[in-house]
Amino acid sequence: MKRTEIDVSYVELPNEFDAFIRGVKIYDSSCSPEARVLFIERDRGYFLKSAPAGSLKKEAELTRFFYSRGLSAEVLAYISDKDGRDFLLTSRVQGEDLTHPTYLDDPKRLCDVLATTLRELHSLDFDGCPVADRMADYFYTAEQNYRKGIFDKELFGGEKYKNMSADDAWRILCEGRDLLRSDTLIHGDYCLPNVIFDKWHFGGFIDLGNGGVGDRHVDIFWGAWTLWYNLHTDEYRDRFFDAYGRDEINGDALDIVEIAETFG
């Protein structure tokens, strides 16, 4: 996880955080244009995430839920300010994310722990989860993006969708959407940067805004994808499926997830 020290005097933050950040080093740890993430070097470390108003509310709720299960960071504050911004302050999950060289340098072990950790997540009780039907939101987003003309058939770097139009993809998605059900606790963005380990021991999950009660194949798909993307090879795809357990994997459902993701 990259961290670049910054001068906090140039960062506009709500007054509630003034005393918290005073006199300590602050680092920019952002990894996407949608949100800014600051690492605060105080105590054992904290992260302060900011994004447009309302966009972090669901992440705050889900992080609290996952924390109650011992699976994520503690939420210390969620603020939606009058200037149209959300702020989410959490404790640091001890360890490093799975893109750290410690893990990338041992790809077989990395593949196996990524798969078994996911299978354990999917076995957990989800009673009380604040997002009870993640797939409803999932399909709604796909439909909205389809109607906006958003369709990235090059997203996965292969030839699979080379000759497929957005209309063809949308038709396939509509025909197969019943294969996906909201019956499992999922992360929703199950990629190496969002899983924290401490010396090969599970620490917790971060960036939970797309989580909730959804279909396991969303996480399975992204688990295989992140190994391909970060290891620059598809060599570990079958190993990942084997370690997770092929008894719970439906190839047709995986295809529907991949189609859905072309619509963002």
Domain co-membership, 238 together with 115? yes
- Identify the helix (H) or strand (E) that includes residue 52: strand 46-52
* Of the residues 65, 91, 117, the one at which a domain ends: 91
* Confidence at residue 156, expressed as pLDDT on a 0 to 100 scale: 60
Structural domain ending residue among the three candidates 91, 108, 134: 91
Residues 165-173: contacts with CB within 8 Å, 24+ apart? 166/263, 169/259, 169/262, 169/263, 170/146, 170/263, 172/256, 172/259, 173/139, 173/142, 173/256, 173/259, 173/260, 173/263
Q: Examine the domain organization and report whether 206 and 168 are in the same domain.
A: yes
User: 82 lies in which domain range?
Assistant: 4-91
Is 168 in the same domain as 38? no
What is the identity of the amino acid at 104? L
189 is catalytic: yes
- Picking from 91, 116, 151, the residue at the C-terminal end of a domain is 91
Facing residues of 27 across strands? 5, 39
Residue 167 and residue 195 in one domain: yes
- Let me know if 193 is exposed, middle or buried by CB neighbors in 10 A (0-12, 13-18, 19+): middle
For residues 146 and 37, state if they share a domain: no
Position 1 scores a pLDDT of: 62
Is the domain of 202 the same as that of 224? yes
Do 71 and 110 fall into the same domain? Answer: no
For residue 152, what pLDDT is reported? 87
Residue 13: CATH number of its domain = 3.30.200.20
pLDDT at residue 158 in the model: 57
Tell me, yes or no, whether 141 and 21 share the same domain: no
Q: 66 and 123, same structural domain?
A: no
221 shares a domain with 174: yes
Domains identified in the chain, total number = 2
Distance CA 71, CA 217 (A): 20
pLDDT in tens, the chain (264 residues): 677 877 777 677 888 888 788 888 999 888 777 788 999 999 999 999 999 999 999 999 999 999 999 999 999 999 998 778 999 999 999 999 999 999 999 999 999 999 999 999 999 999 999 999 999 999 999 999 999 999 987 766 556 777 889 999 999 999 999 999 999 999 999 999 999 999 999 999 999 999 999 999 999 999 999 999 999 999 999 999 999 999 999 999 999 999 999 998
Looking at the fold, whether 205 and 246 belong to one and the same domain comes out as yes
pLDDT (0 to 100) of residue 60: 98
Catalytic residue among 86, 97, 189, 219: 189
Alpha carbon distance 61, 215 (integer Å): 19
- What is the SS3 assignment for 46? strand
Q: What's the rounded Cα separation, in Å, for the pair 124 and 104? A: 27
| CATH number of 162's domain | 3.90.1200.10
